[in-house]
Amino acid sequence: MTWLASAGADPYGVAVAGNSSIKNLTDMKALGRPVKMTSTGPGSTSYVVTHIVMDVLDIPMSSISGYRGSSEYVIGAMRGDGDGTIAVVPQLLKFHESGDLKTIALLAVTAAKSPFPGVPDATVLGKPDLAKLAIRRLIGAPPNLPDDVRRILEDSLMKAMTDPETVKILQAAGSDLVPEPGNKAAAYLNESIELYTRYQKYIQE
């Protein structure tokens, strides 16, 4: 592929039901049994990410899988089907704000303002690699694209993504763009591939 741009990323967070007795990752570890995490089925991104995160955090887990999408398994966690769940921040945020969910870890390196004040991020947890799991919105084109065509597309995309009207529409929809050029997109992809390769046993499941 020829990578043209990165439009932004949605990092993951670890959350438990709003009324759960689990307050942080230490409580999760101290349960004395594998933590039950809701997710979609084997082979899905959420299933693989959940296993990688819990492996890196050294928390034994079992999966409550079979939900048909991220919204369903997040609701499953709110209902108490499992002890917790791992989902992307935009999905967790609205339920965190309403008190239905409690986010206990943010799997991102938050340089400035965190969407969950007081919640430890990947740096505080000492696992910055977990930030590489973030869902990235990359834009690509077929391989071996001529350089002049690539440049035109790359410039046009950057122009479109920084256009005030585009920014306004996306902000109204609750989504922010972080436009970056194609070389950054390729670098992010390589980082992800490297991380997922290390944990390919969960993908092969």
Partner 1 sequence: MFDIVLPALHSFASFENVGFLVLGTVIGLVFGTIPGLGGATTLALVMPMTYGMEQTPAMILAGGLMGSVAMGGSITAVLINTPGSGPSAATCLDGYPLTQQGKAGMAIGALASSTAMGSVIGVFSVLLVLPVARQLVMMFGPPEFFLLALLGLTAISISSGGKLLCGLVVGAGGLVLSFIGEDAVSGGQRYTFGSDYLWDGLPLVPTLLGLFAISEMIDLSLKGGAVAKKTETTEFAGLWEGIRASFKHWPVVLRGSIIGTLEGSIPGVGGTAASFLAYSLTVQADKHPETFGKGRIEGVIAPEAAINAKEAACLIPTLTFGIPAGLEMAVFLGMLILHGIEPGPMLLIHHSETIYALVLALCFSCLIGAVLGCVCIKPLSLITKIDVHVLVPLILAISAAGTFSIRGEPLDILLAGVFGVVGYLLRRFEYPRLPLVLALVLGPVAERSYHQSMMISDGSWSVFVQHNTSLVLISLIVLAVVLPVWRSQSRRRKAAAEFA
Residues that bind partner 1 (CB under 8 A): 36, 40-43, 47, 62-69, 71-72, 75-76, 78-82, 91, 94-95, 97-98, 100, 169, 172-174, 205
Closest approach, Cβ 39 to partner 1, in A, equals 11
With contact defined as beta carbons under 8 Å apart, do 134 and 193 qualify? no
Q: CB of residue 70 vs partner 1: minimum separation in angstroms?
A: 9
| Residue that is written with structure tokens 């390196």 in the block | 109
CB of 64 to partner 1, least distance (A): 5
The 8-class DSSP code of residue 45 comes to H
CB of 172 to partner 1, least distance (A): 4
Radius of gyration over every alpha carbon of the chain, rounded to an integer in angstroms: 18
Residue 204 one-letter amino acid: Q
Buried b (16+ CB within 10 A) or exposed e, 150-179: beebbeebbeebeeeeeeeeeeeeeeebeb
66 vs 124, which CB is nearer to partner 1? 66
Nearer to partner 1, 142 or 174 (CB): 174
- Least distance to partner 1 from the beta carbon of 121, Å? 23
6 vs 39, beta carbon nearer partner 1: 39
The residue (of 58 and 165) whose beta carbon lies closer to partner 1 is 165
3-state helix, strand, coil in the chain (%, to 5): 45, 20, 35
Residue 6 or 91: the one with the smaller Cβ distance to partner 1 is 91
- Residue 104 tokens read as 């206990």
